[in-house]
C-alpha cells in the first residue's frame, strides 16, 4: 500500500547537449527524490513539455538546433498556455551580465553559472519546483 503522507515526486526536465552534464544533474536530483527526464536541445525539450507534465525545467544556453534562450522565449510565448508558466532554471558556462540579462528577458526564473555543486543544484530546484528541502 502506498504511503499517502509522501508527496508525489516532482518531475524535472533537464535540457543540455552534454550527456555528462545531464547524468550529473540526473544523479543529484534522483538522489534528492526527483523524477528526471532529459532532452538534448530546445526542440526535443519543447516536444517533451507539450506531451508530459513537468514541475520545472533546467536548461543550458548553448545547444545545437535550438538554444536555451530560444527555447525559453518559445515556452513563455503563450503559444501553449498550459506550459508558459513552467518554472525554468537556466544553467550555463556563460557568466556575463549580458547573458544573465538575456536569460531573464527570455523567461528564466533563475540563472546559475557552471559548475554547480550538487547541494546548490538541489536547493534551487527545490525552491523553484515548490518542494520542501
C-alpha cell at 31: 538522489
Give per-residue pLDDT as tens, 64-80.
999 999 999 999 997 76
The tens digit of pLDDT for each residue in 88-104 reads 999 999 999 999 999 99
- The CA angle 87-93-98, to the nearest 5 degrees, is 75
Strands (DSSP E) along 32-133, which ranges? 35-39, 56-59, 88-92, 110-113
6 pLDDT higher than 50: no
CB 60 within 8 A of CB 17: yes
> Model pTM?
0.91
Domains along the chain with CATH numbers: 11-129 (3.40.50.2300)
User: How much is the pLDDT for 72?
Assistant: 96
> Which residue from 48, 47, 43, 38 is spatially nearest to 16, judged by alpha carbons?
38
Reported confidence tier of residue 5, pLDDT bands at 50, 70, 90: very low
Amino acid at each position: 500500500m502506498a504511503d499517502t503522507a509522501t508527496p508525489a515526486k516532482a518531475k524535472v526536465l533537464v535540457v543540455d547537449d552534454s550527456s555528462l552534464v545531464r547524468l550529473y544533474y540526473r544523479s543529484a536530483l534522483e538522489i534528492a527524490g526527483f523524477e528526471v527526464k532529459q532532452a538534448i536541445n530546445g526542440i526535443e525539450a519543447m516536444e517533451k513539455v507539450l506531451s508530459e507534465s513537468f514541475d520545472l525545467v533546467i536548461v543550458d544556453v548553448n545547444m545545437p538546433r535550438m538554444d536555451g534562450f530560444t527555447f525559453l522565449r518559445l515556452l513563455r510565448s503563450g503559444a501553449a498556455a498550459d506550459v508558459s508558466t513552467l518554472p525554468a532554471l537556466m544553467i550555463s558556462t556563460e557568466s556575463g551580465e549580458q547573458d544573465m540579462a538575456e536569460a531573464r528577458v527570455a523567461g528564466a526564473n533563475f540563472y546559475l553559472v557552471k559548475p554547480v555543486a550538487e547541494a546548490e543544484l538541489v536547493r534551487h530546484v527545490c525552491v523553484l519546483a515548490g518542494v520542501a528541502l
